[in-house]
Amino acid sequence: MQMGEPRPRTERSKELAGIIGRFVREDGTHEMEIPGLSLIRTSQISERVHSVYEPSLCIVAQGSKVVMLGEESYRYDPSSYLTASVHLPITGQVLEASPEAPYLSLQLRFNMGQVLEVLRSSGETKRRKPSPGRGLVVSRMNDALLDAVLRLVRLLDTPQDIPVLAESIIREVIYRVVQDEQNAAIKQFALIGSHAQRISKVVERLNREFTQPLRVEELAEEVRMSASSLYQYFKEVTGMSPIQYQKQLRLQEARRLLITEGMEAAEAAFQVGYESPSHFSREYARKFGLPPGRDIRQLRKALGGWNPT
C-alpha cells in the first residue's frame, strides 16, 4: 500500500472489532463514557431477543445479526449498517458468534434534534416528499462513515479527549448517515411539520402510554392528520398498525415483568393494560410461541447462555 492510500475496509473493520473486544470482555451491552454509545459482545448464537430500538446507528464489527420488524427481516454484518429513526419494537438474533470469534457491535443513540441541527448546518431542511418511508433501514457501509465511527471509538483510549472531541465527531457520524441516499427517510423524521415527524410524535406517545386504551382519532387530532392518513403513514414507518405496535410493546413489557419481577401472568397482564388474562395469554402465545408460564420456565432454564441485550 502506498503512502496516503486508504486502508482496505476489512482492516478498518478489524480495528473496530479490536477496540470493542478490548473494552468489553464479557457478553452483554456495555454503556461507554461517550454519550449514547454502547458496545455489545455475544459469544454464541443467541435466542431471539425482543426489545425496542431507540433512534440509533448500529454497526457490526464482527459476526452478523438479523432484526425482525413486523413481518420483515433485516440482516446486517460488517459490510452494512442499520439505522432506526424512531422507537421500534423488534426481534433480534445474533447469527454468527463463537467464543473464538464473538459477535462484536456498537450502537450509537441519537435524537432528531441532533439530526435537525446537522441538516440545518448543511442547508438540507426542505421536505422533499410526503411519504415518510420505513423507520428501519439497512445500508451498505461506506468508507467515510466507517472512518468517522473509528475516530469516535478511538476516543475510548483517551477519555480526557471525550468532553472536547466526542460531540463534533458524533455530528460527523450523523452527517455521514444522512448523506447516504438509502437514509433519505431519516431526514424527514427530523423536519418539523413533515408526515414522518408527526408519526414520530405518535410513536413517542404510544411508547409513553402503551398501557392506556388506544384511540386513533384522538392521536390523529393531536398531530393534525386524518385517522386514515395516520393509519397509512404509521404502517409505512413501523411496518404495523398502531394497535399492532401497541400490542408488541405490551407483550414485550409483560415478558420482562414475568422474567425479572417474578409476576404472575394475570398480574403482568393487568399491569400492561390487558383487561382479560385469557386474552393476554392467547396473544402472548401467538407472539412468543408458548403460553406465559411455560415460556418463562423455558427462559429461566436457558438463562445461563441467554443474552438479553
Can you give the pLDDT at residue 286? 94
> Stretch 29-46: mean pLDDT, rounded?
96
CA-to-CA distance for 158 and 136, rounded, in angstroms? 33
pLDDT interval class at 52 (50, 70, 90): very high
Can you give the pLDDT at residue 183? 78
Can you give the pLDDT at residue 70? 86
pLDDT interval class at 309 (50, 70, 90): very low
> Stretch 206-220: mean pLDDT, rounded?
94
The yes-or-no verdict on residue 3 having pLDDT over 60 is: no
Asked which of 30-34, 155-159, 186-190, 293-297 is least confident by mean pLDDT, the reply is: 186-190
The yes-or-no verdict on residue 127 having pLDDT over 70 is: no
- Residue 40 C-alpha from the chain's centroid: 13
Helices 242-260 & 227-238 angle (0-180, nearest 10): 50
> Stretch 265-281: mean pLDDT, rounded?
96
Which segments of the chain does DSSP mark as H helices, in order? 9-23, 112-121, 143-154, 162-179, 184-190, 195-208, 216-222, 227-238, 242-260, 265-271, 277-288, 292-301
pLDDT interval class at 149 (50, 70, 90): very high
- Give the three cell numbers for residue 15: 480495528
Count Cβ neighbours within 10 Å for each residue of 101-132 and write b for 16 or more, e otherwise.
ebbbbbbbbbebebbbebbeeeeeeeeeeeeb
The yes-or-no verdict on residue 152 having pLDDT over 90 is: yes
The string of pLDDT tens digits covering residues 157-199 is: 999 999 999 999 999 999 999 988 777 778 888 886 788 889 9
Can you give the pLDDT at residue 181? 79
The yes-or-no verdict on residue 305 having pLDDT over 50 is: no
DSSP annotation of 239: S
Average pLDDT of the chain to the nearest whole number: 90
Residue in this structure with the C-alpha cell 410461541, named with its chain if needed = 289
The yes-or-no verdict on residue 306 having pLDDT over 60 is: no
Can you give the pLDDT at residue 129? 55
CA-to-CA distance for 210 and 168, rounded, in angstroms? 35
Can you give the pLDDT at residue 126? 65
Q: Which residues contact 66 (CB under 8 A, 6 or more apart)?
A: 73, 74, 75, 92, 93, 95
CA-to-CA distance for 40 and 69, rounded, in angstroms? 20
Can you give the pLDDT at residue 304? 54
Asked which of 79-93, 275-289, 290-304 is least confident by mean pLDDT, the reply is: 290-304
User: Model pTM?
Assistant: 0.87
Can you give the pLDDT at residue 187? 84
The yes-or-no verdict on residue 130 having pLDDT over 50 is: yes
pLDDT interval class at 247 (50, 70, 90): very high
Can you give the pLDDT at residue 87? 94
The yes-or-no verdict on residue 107 having pLDDT over 80 is: yes
Can you give the pLDDT at residue 233? 93
Cα 136-141-143 angle, rounded to 5 deg:
140
Helices 112-121 & 162-179 angle (0-180, nearest 10): 80
The yes-or-no verdict on residue 253 having pLDDT over 70 is: yes
Can you give the pLDDT at residue 248? 95
Q: Is 89 exposed, middle or buried (0-12, 13-18, 19+ CB in 10 A)?
A: buried
